[in-house]
Amino acid sequence: MHKNVLAKSVRLALISGAAAAAFASPAVFAADEDGEKVERIEVTGSRIKQVDMENASPVTVLTAEDIKLTGESTIADVLNNSSVNSFGSWRGTSGYGSGAAATSSVQMRGLDAKYTLVLLDGRRMPGTSSSSGAAADTSRIPMAIVERIEILREGASAVYGSDAVAGVINIITKKDYQGLDFSYDTELPSTDGGDTNRFTVATGYSSDKGNITLTYEYYKADAVWDKDIWKFDDPTYFDYSSYSSVPNGVGDSGWITNRDMCNQAPNTYDLTDSADTGRCLYSYGEVTKLFGDVVQNSVLSNFSYELADNLKFRGRTSASLSETETRYAGTPVSTNLPTMSADNAYNPTGEDLDLYMRGAQLGNRDTRTEINDIDFFGGLVGFIDVGNGIDWEVNGQHSRSSTNSFNENLINDDIIQNLIDSEEYDIFNTTGMSYGDWNSQMEDLYGQAAHTGLYQARYVSSQVDGLISTLFLDENDFSLSGVFGIEYETVDFTQKSDPQSASGRVSGGSGGDDVNATRDRTSAFMELQASLPFNVDINAAVRYDNYDQEGDVGEQVVAGSFDNVSPQIGIAWRPVDSLLVRASWGESFRAPNMGEMFSSQALSFETADDNLWCDAGTNAADDAVYCAVGGSQHKTWFGGNPDLKPEEGESLTTGVVWNATDSLAFELSYYDLTLDNQIASTTLTRLLKDESDSGSSTAIIRDADGKIDVAYSFDRNMASLETSGFDFKASYSIDTEYGDFGIKTELGYVQDFKQTSEPGEAAFDYAGLQDYPEYRGNVNLAWTSGDMSAAWTTYYIGSQESGNEEYGTDYLADIPSYFKHNIQFSYYHAWNGKVTLGVNNLLDEEAPSWYDGSVGWRDVNTGLYDVLGRTVFFKIQQSF
């Protein structure tokens, strides 16, 4: 049956069904020309039901089988490998605060995760505390519950509201399931650590009146240690710190340390013989975890019940409880640099010294992060037999996400200073103690100053919404249908650190970015679909959003109100049954999140090259650590801004879909996305450039030697972005006497990715430079024959230029093309089960390094490349 005939049949049977969630509405059918029933489906990007997945908006669909064939173990990894995820995505790593070390997120079109809206069955997922609720954590979604993933590759603020700027990811869960399934899978990387184990049980029951499903998943991943990934034994390795377990001091005469203690202390290196004399350096990366230990328990239940004719109750309950253990090196006493006076009894130089110390004797900085998500959803769906019929629904949803992080072995700077001033601790060992006695003394020193930091955050959202839809008109080759709806949401977001960490007197943790804010959102939307002669469909949508936000910024409570009308229009035309030509345009809108507006000042240590100081005289040779390749860390304060304005943009997509035969299909799409008034904090690199251009800066404070003491950066509406490119997709299947073969491929090309950091500034095009690959794609070849199946998936990331010329550097490397191959083989046995054996990164492809001729700690983009090496995985499934 031709698609245009089916589409016409559906229009004759009320094509404008209610559709806020993919599982939400009862099945709606239309009679085709032979009298058979054809089910209308919901497609991400529109709230109007239709026959075909292909419409005016570009949508990529990954089925449960597609997901299995990738060989990846988590939904976060599956989404990261999509070509629309142009430059990779965030994966939690040790060392990041606000719970970010325990989360993952997706960044469509290379934009930050807060520009991608993630839905679960058409409903917003709870946001992470590290993003102030603006970005969902894709690692919280159990693989076993996923029926399919629909990726809308365009802005959709007119349909879904704020945050749907770069696109929408809609994760559809399994329903209407009957039976009992068990599965177990494990992954064993070639590197030490990183082993994963997952156990899943799923069950369900269906009847004529309704159904219920229940899925439970236990997931455990072992830590990956930095020492097992990075080349610490390479002579060109350069990531060492002056903040050492064997203290360094610097005064008017230069650096001073105890070389004998340095040669005995773990992970310390004496640079006496180098040009940078008199310093004991600490190799911090040899004791840290790259990815932490993770344990997660997840449960999800879907249910529906027919209360009466044309009336159904449906709902969903989910919960995710996770615990992540990360590790960073012992605390550098760096927030407030301790000093030793010239007349201190244990001062070996007789001059005032600044001290560079690290509490390694106390232990490493271990952080336990607990994240608990709970989500309840329920609603009524009905049909009123009036006129052409009216579909309606009323829904309620309550989501709650909490984060608790416990940061051990931090250092109270004031106590350290007081203990040094007390003249009870000979930190430079001027009295000639044995290493054991000296080390015990340092343990006691840091033990008295030990502090355990506490970070807590809570994001609570409650929403009620409703919509109605109907067919207004149907005459011959013309029909008009529409949907109207309203939403009201309240959000309460708080995050806080313990008072000592927030005071700026504690080293080793993050603190100070406290938020105590509320937000009310009121939205109304309308969508129309007109079917015209000559197989032309036009979709138009408009949405009004109003945000009222209020936050306590310490001295006062401030408020902000934003409203916006976002339009969108799309057209689809089938000149012949096998060819679809489409285009869509819309405006995007994103209100500032509560952290961007109301967070208090927070301390971070940003990495940047201080060229102003390092390029002067012999400074680079005199202090090679401060002027190291890739820059050094500098104390930087960040904070919110209650005067922020909304971000605004436009999205244009156009393309063709050609179903050449029943088994061969192609798609080519073009996208263009712009964003103005972009909210961003000025990077330290940018602040340093402004200082260099103008000769001075009030945002950068330097010490007596001219080095950076502290920098200040706050959120502003200062940036803009424009990106465009092409998406190509193809699929082919063939049945042979040797089995059924299928091939799917997708390739993304980023034509430009232009950003400005200040209004009126010339745009800088990052496309093709390091970490901004122009090309990204994948190819999947699948084979099935009887009880056996196999798959080969290849992931491709294009080469990138170093950017040395553009950035004014000389140490970055050109990045070669990267290919990763995943293979697997499955067997369906006679006892209603399946066994799968596979290998990810079959050829053990090594991830490329940022630097030319030298190596460093974490010198690979771990959000873009696989650093675990060849990984064997095994999975067993059993159904009853």
Can you read off the two tokens belonging to residue 386? Answer: 């009036």
**Domain-wise residue ranges, the chain:** 602-638+682-713
638: β partners: 602
Tell whether the model's pLDDT for residue 254 goes beyond 90. no
Confidence class of residue 26 from pLDDT cuts 50, 70 and 90? very low
In sign, the C-alpha dihedral spanning 620, 621, 623, 625 is positive
Instruction: Supply the angle between the helices 435-448 and 413-421 in degrees, to the nearest 10.
Output: 130
519: β partners: 491, 549
User: 336-340, 697-701, 813-817: which range is least confident on average?
Assistant: 697-701
Tell whether the model's pLDDT for residue 27 goes beyond 70. no
Can you read off the two tokens belonging to residue 113? Answer: 């995760």
Place of tokens 């012999």: 618
Q: What is the mean pLDDT of the chain?
A: 87
Angstrom distances, CA of residue 765 to CA of 110, 153, 333, 774: 13, 22, 39, 11
| Residue type for position 289 | K
Note the pLDDT of residue 510: 67
Distance in angstroms between the alpha carbons of the first and the last residue of the chain: 36
User: 19-33, 241-255, 443-457, 609-623: which range is least confident on average?
Assistant: 19-33
Decide: 121 and 172 in contact? Cβ < 8 Å: yes
- Residue range 361-375: mean pLDDT, rounded: 93
Helix, strand, or coil (residue 640): coil
Confidence class of residue 235 from pLDDT cuts 50, 70 and 90? confident
Note the pLDDT of residue 10: 34
What is the residue-wise DSSP string for 434-463?
-HHHHHHHHHHHHHHTEEEEEEEEEEEEEE
Tell whether the model's pLDDT for residue 857 goes beyond 60. yes
Note the pLDDT of residue 474: 87
Note the pLDDT of residue 30: 43
Cα 106 to Cα 75: distance, rounded to the nearest angstrom: 10
Confidence class of residue 638 from pLDDT cuts 50, 70 and 90? confident
Confidence class of residue 54 from pLDDT cuts 50, 70 and 90? low
Decide: 525 and 488 in contact? Cβ < 8 Å: no
pLDDT in tens, 463-501: 999 999 999 988 888 999 999 999 999 999 998 888 888
Cα 722 to Cα 673: distance, rounded to the nearest angstrom: 6
Cα 657 to Cα 61: distance, rounded to the nearest angstrom: 14
Q: What is the CA radius of gyration of the chain?
A: 29
- The runs of H, that is alpha helices, within 212-299 are 259-264
Cα 857 to Cα 284: distance, rounded to the nearest angstrom: 9
Note the pLDDT of residue 761: 75
- φ and ψ at residue 213, rounded to 5 degrees: -130, 150
Cα 774 to Cα 684: distance, rounded to the nearest angstrom: 26
| Residue type for position 394 | V
Place of tokens 């004998």: 260
- Residue range 781-791: mean pLDDT, rounded: 95
Decide: 224 and 253 in contact? Cβ < 8 Å: no
Confidence class of residue 415 from pLDDT cuts 50, 70 and 90? very high
- Residue range 595-615: mean pLDDT, rounded: 79
Tell whether the model's pLDDT for residue 756 goes beyond 90. no
Note the pLDDT of residue 475: 87
Cα 634 to Cα 708: distance, rounded to the nearest angstrom: 7
Whole-model pTM: value is 0.86
Q: How many helices (H) and strands (E) does the chain have?
A: 13, 43
Q: Which of 633, 649, 669 is nearest to 748 (CA)?
A: 669
Percent composition of the chain: helix, strand, coil (DSSP 3-state, to 5):
15, 50, 35
Confidence class of residue 555 from pLDDT cuts 50, 70 and 90? low
Helix, strand, or coil (residue 290): strand
Report residue 442 CA to chain centroid gap.
40
Confidence class of residue 41 from pLDDT cuts 50, 70 and 90? low
Decide: 20 and 487 in contact? Cβ < 8 Å: no
Decide: 20 and 465 in contact? Cβ < 8 Å: yes
In sign, the C-alpha dihedral spanning 857, 860, 866, 869 is negative
- φ and ψ at residue 528, rounded to 5 degrees: -120, 145
Can you read off the two tokens belonging to residue 261? Answer: 């203690």
Cα 737 to Cα 684: distance, rounded to the nearest angstrom: 63
DSSP one-letter code for 143? G
Cα 215 to Cα 235: distance, rounded to the nearest angstrom: 51
Higher pLDDT, 464 or 133: 464
Rounded to 5°, angle at Cα 515 from 509 and 520:
150
Tell whether the model's pLDDT for residue 623 goes beyond 90. no
**At a CB cut-off of 8 Å and minimum separation 6, what does 199 contact?**
182, 183, 184, 217, 218
Place of tokens 């340390």: 257
Greatest Cα-to-Cα distance within the chain, rounded to the nearest angstrom? 100
**At a CB cut-off of 8 Å and minimum separation 6, what does 81 contact?**
70, 72, 778, 795
- φ and ψ at residue 805, rounded to 5 degrees: -65, -40
Residues in the chain: 880
Note the pLDDT of residue 276: 53
Strands (E), 786-843: 788-797, 818-829, 833-840
**At a CB cut-off of 8 Å and minimum separation 6, what does 316 contact?**
23, 121, 173, 300, 301, 302, 303, 375, 376, 377, 378
**At a CB cut-off of 8 Å and minimum separation 6, what does 502 contact?**
496, 511, 512, 514, 600
Note the pLDDT of residue 552: 83
- Residue range 802-819: mean pLDDT, rounded: 91
Tell whether the model's pLDDT for residue 37 goes beyond 90. no
Q: Which of 292, 164, 177, 137 is nearest to 226 (CA)?
A: 292
Can you read off the two tokens belonging to residue 61? Answer: 């669909």
Angstrom distances, CA of residue 290 to CA of 190, 399, 603, 606: 16, 31, 22, 18
Tell whether the model's pLDDT for residue 8 goes beyond 60. no
Proportion of the chain above pLDDT 70, given as a percent: 92
Confidence class of residue 277 from pLDDT cuts 50, 70 and 90? low
Tell whether the model's pLDDT for residue 381 goes beyond 60. yes
